[in-house]
Amino acid sequence: MESLGPEMNTLTDENARRVEQVVELLRASRSLLFITGAGLSAESGLPTYRGIGGLYQGRNTEENVPIEALLSAETMETRPDLTWKYLLQIEEACRAAKPNRGHEVIAEMESEFDRVWVLTQNVDGFHHRAGSCNVIDIHGDLHRIRCMQCPYQQSVTDYAGFDIPPRCPDCNGILRPDVVLFGERLPAHQFATYHAEVPPGFDLVFSVGTTSVFPYISAPVLDAYHCRLPSVEINPDETKVSEFVTVKLPLGAASALDAVWRGYNR
Q: Which residues pair with 153 in a beta bridge?
A: 146
For residue 96, count other CB atoms closer than 10 A to its CB: 10
Whole-number Å distance between alpha carbons of 81 and 65 = 14
Cβ–Cβ under 8 Å, residues 181 and 76: yes
Helices (H), 163-205: 188-197
| Annotated catalytic residue 128 | no
> 139, 143, 195, 226: which one is catalytic?
139
Whole-number Å distance between alpha carbons of 191 and 210 = 19
Helix or strand run (H / E) with residue 231: strand 231-234
Residue 78 three-state SS:
helix
Backbone angles phi, psi at 55, to 5 degrees: -65, -30
Whole-number Å distance between alpha carbons of 5 and 3 = 6
- Indicate the burial class of 27 (C-beta count within 10 angstroms; 0-12, 13-18, 19 or more): exposed
Instruction: Tell which residue, 74, 121, 122, 124, has the closest CA to residue 97.
Output: 124
Residues annotated as catalytic (active site), given as ranges: 139
